[in-house]
Structure 1
Amino acid sequence: MNSDHYQFEIGINLQPEARELTVLFSGEGSPKPGHKVGPSVHDYYLVHTILSGQGVFVSEGHAYVCQAGDTFLITPGKLFSYESDKRTPWHYVWAAVQGEQALRLLSEAGLSPEKPVLQGADAAALHSIYQRIRLSFRQSPYPGLESLEASGWMRLLLHRLGLVSRNLENGAAEQPEMIDRQVEQAIRWISLQYHQQLGIGQIASSLGYHRAHFSKAFKERTGLSPKQYLMKIRMDKAKELLASRALTIDEVSSSVGFNDALYFSKQFRSWFGQSPSEYRSRLAPF
């Protein structure tokens, strides 16, 4: 137990490698009231997130009062100090990182030497990720894999912080409508999985929407219902496959998501005014 802390736990990377982003160590602690670190400098990036209590972080002469949900960044070569509050000492988690892309990734997450504090995160959600980072370093026979695992969890942590940063910068009213993003995701899903037995209800449910609401939003943005859009993708792809002449009609039908070749032919005629075989026969020969 660290004598300056009521609680102190740490996991250390035994095999840090030169990567875009490498976690050197990660820990959790509850320092005693008034516990102070610095003034000092580090040669790595060190991220702290406050779980409860409060304290003061000082970077390059600027003081920031930090409390639960706040995250602060210590930058290599930058003079810093931080001190636990004397009445409500903070409980925090931390992770140290280095790598050629570390600064870029931290900046994407909303933390930089110019903006070393990010406020308003869900401390409990971040806590669980920090724990996974620390527990990656379980001193197994495979420290290289432990390092890789920790880097993955660190990227997830930065992703979560980045979402908080975007909300703070843009405000909810200026955020792109979530339904717009979900429609875009559905379009990508249909465009990649048209050959599967897709159900519109399944897609809507997976994206968190009732089928009727999702279908209405989809049509408003594309001019087609999800079912019509799926059929259009299938029919356009069927024309491509028929033109290649590499597959039989039955094989084309199966390739674009139809189990019944007769039903496929009926749908093809409905869309293009001719059967698949008629369409193929009217194409110019190779």
Structure 2
Amino acid sequence: MLERSVLNRGFPGLNPISYGSERCEPGHAYGYASRDYYLIHYIMSGKGIFARGGITHSLHRGCMFLIRPGELTYYQADEQSPWEYIWLGFDGSLCAPLLQSAGFSDDVCWRDAPQVSYLFEELRTIPDRQPSTELSLCSLLYQLFSALCSQDSAPHAPRDYVTRTSDYIRANYALPVSIESIASMLGIDRRYLSRIFLHETGMTPKEYLVRIRLSRAADLLENSSCTVTETARSVGYDDVYNFSKIFKKKYGISPAYYRQQTASLIKEKDD
């Protein structure tokens, strides 16, 4: 067994815990036992069995199996053709959603994934006890999830288009955003995007864009020293007159008066 040293850096999203490899002896077994973190084994050669939840799976070269924190599992190398595997342990707040997107739903504990063998070959070459070790492992984990997601890629559902549109608007509301350009980026018709967005959210993409812009403008007017003109430009309006007109339609007062009003309320609270 070749186990490498990993410094637990406590990365909040995806945090490598351990890695190594083992060419097992015939019949070599581990478990039943549990772990405190997620652990993936990738079978480079040979075969064996992996048991979880009362079900035993026969696995071979190119398969990978996942052990989740707290799960009782058992695995054993074949007597005639014992496996060699590489393992990688990790934890972090992003583990569950990333594993879900990579095809490891709650009832899935293994995958046949020969297309990612190159990543585990690369894992062998990552030196331990180096300043870059943990970052290299973290990078490899993201590559692994990306490769598994790509294998499972399917036609986008309407809800996915809506989520991508709303995420894009929230990230780019300060820029010259057009619904036509978003639809083109997603590879769908603008009218179709508007229709499914309205169905999912109760508003059109354009209405959502205006809502995000005005909400951010109100926050700037209330909590920053930006002028009305600077506020308008900060939320994607080059024409301050047009911005003021849209703002007044939403809040019933002009941006300048909104600032005065909120400033007075803050002062009253302080007094």
The TM-score bracket by the shorter chain reads 0.5 to 0.7
Identity percentage of aligned residues: 22
Give the match for residue 12 of structure 2: none
- Please list the CA deviations of residues 84-114 of structure 1 after superposition, one character each: whole Å capped at 9, or x if unmatched: 77xxxx9x98422356x49x959x84899xx
- Give the C-alpha shift of residue 253 in structure 1: 0.9
Which region of structure 1 is more displaced relative to structure 2, 76-85 or 127-136? 76-85
Letter in 1 for 2:214: M
* Residue from 106, 116, 119 that aligns with 1:129: 119
Structure 1 counterpart SS, 2:57: strand
Letter in 1 for 2:49: F
**Counterpart check, 1:22 vs 2:9:** no
- Contact 2:228 2:256 survives alignment (8 Å): yes
- Give the C-alpha shift of residue 214 in structure 1: 2.2
Letter in 1 for 2:232: S
CA pair 207-153 structure 1, distance change in 2 beyond 3 A: farther
Letter in 1 for 2:76: F
Aligned partners of 1:201 and 1:64: how far apart in 2?
49
Letter in 2 for 1:39: H
Aligned partners of 1:222 and 1:49: how far apart in 2?
45
Q: What runs of 5+ residues in structure 2 fail to find an aligned partner? A: 10-14
CA pair 239-150 structure 1, distance change in 2 beyond 3 A: closer
**Counterpart check, 1:145 vs 2:145:** no
- Give the C-alpha shift of residue 179 in structure 1: 2.9
- Contact 2:49 2:75 survives alignment (8 Å): no
TM-score after normalising by structure 2: 0.62
- Contact 2:26 2:80 survives alignment (8 Å): no
Structure 2 counterpart SS, 1:37: coil
**Counterpart check, 1:118 vs 2:110:** yes
CA pair 96-58 structure 1, distance change in 2 beyond 3 A: closer
- Contact 1:268 1:276 survives alignment (8 Å): yes
* Residue from 193, 196, 206 that aligns with 2:175: 196
- Contact 2:194 2:205 survives alignment (8 Å): yes
- Give the C-alpha shift of residue 154 in structure 1: 3.0
- Give the C-alpha shift of residue 246 in structure 1: 3.1
- Please list the CA deviations of residues 15-36 of structure 1 after superposition, one character each: whole Å capped at 9, or x if unmatched: 4324553343359x9xxxxx97
Aligned-residue RMSD, C-alpha: 5.0
**Counterpart check, 1:48 vs 2:35:** no
- Contact 2:197 2:203 survives alignment (8 Å): yes
**Counterpart check, 1:187 vs 2:166:** yes
Give the match for residue 57 of structure 1: 49
Aligned partners of 1:57 and 1:244: how far apart in 2?
60
Structure 1 counterpart SS, 2:162: helix
- Give the C-alpha shift of residue 153 in structure 1: 1.5
- Contact 1:72 1:116 survives alignment (8 Å): no
- Contact 1:57 1:83 survives alignment (8 Å): no
* Residue from 213, 223, 226 that aligns with 2:192: 213
TM-score after normalising by structure 1: 0.60
User: How many residues end up aligned between the 2 structures?
Assistant: 245
Letter in 1 for 2:130: P
Aligned partners of 2:166 and 2:178: how far apart in 1?
13
Aligned partners of 2:252 and 2:4: how far apart in 1?
68
CA pair 49-278 structure 1, distance change in 2 beyond 3 A: same
- Please list the CA deviations of residues 132-167 of structure 1 after superposition, one character each: whole Å capped at 9, or x if unmatched: 433433x8xx72313431244235536766999xx9
Aligned partners of 1:279 and 1:77: how far apart in 2?
61
Aligned partners of 1:22 and 1:109: how far apart in 2?
16
Structure 2 counterpart SS, 1:22: strand
- Contact 1:48 1:73 survives alignment (8 Å): no
Structure 2 counterpart SS, 1:258: coil
Structure 1 counterpart SS, 2:218: helix
